[in-house]
Amino acid sequence: MDIPDDVRLGVRAPTPLTAAATTARTPATRNAKQAVTELLRQLPDDCTLEDIQYHLYVMEKAERGREDIAQGRGYLNNEAKQRLDRWLES
């Protein structure tokens, strides 16, 4: 099942988050400096340091999530919904 990267449990990320998460998709040969440079190119000229920090945070979390999934440490949407339902029932 192919689930878009920005969709989890029926929630779609806002466009700026999607852009940051896309930037985080770096090949193994691409380093962090190149990823940050690309992110800075995508952000508007009037962004704040807080905006940059937030997007860097999102990039890191997205990359860790992809690594977790690649290592088999993740759930499909239906599995996550079932786990959430069981948790809410208890």
What number of residues does the chain have?
Answer: 90
- The pLDDT tens digits for 6-36 are 555 454 555 555 555 555 555 554 688 999 9
**CA distance to 29, 62, 87, per residue, from 58 (Å):** 20, 6, 26
Determine the Cα–Cα distance for residues 15 and 20; give it in Å rounded to an integer.
9
- The span from the CA of 49 to the CA of 65, in Å, is 24
Band (pLDDT 50/70/90 cuts) for residue 54 is very high
Q: Considering the entire predicted model, what is its pTM?
A: 0.57
Report, as an integer, the average pLDDT of 78-87. 94
**Predicted local distance difference test score (pLDDT) of residue 75:** 86
For 26, the 3-state DSSP assignment is coil
**What is the predicted pLDDT for the residue at 29?**
43
Give me the residue spans of the domains in the chain.
9-89
Q: Compute CA distances 48 → 44, 51, 80, whole Å.
A: 9, 5, 35
Give the dihedral sign, CA 20/21/22/28: positive
Confidence of residue 55 (pLDDT cuts 50, 70, 90): very high
pLDDT higher at 24 or 42? 42
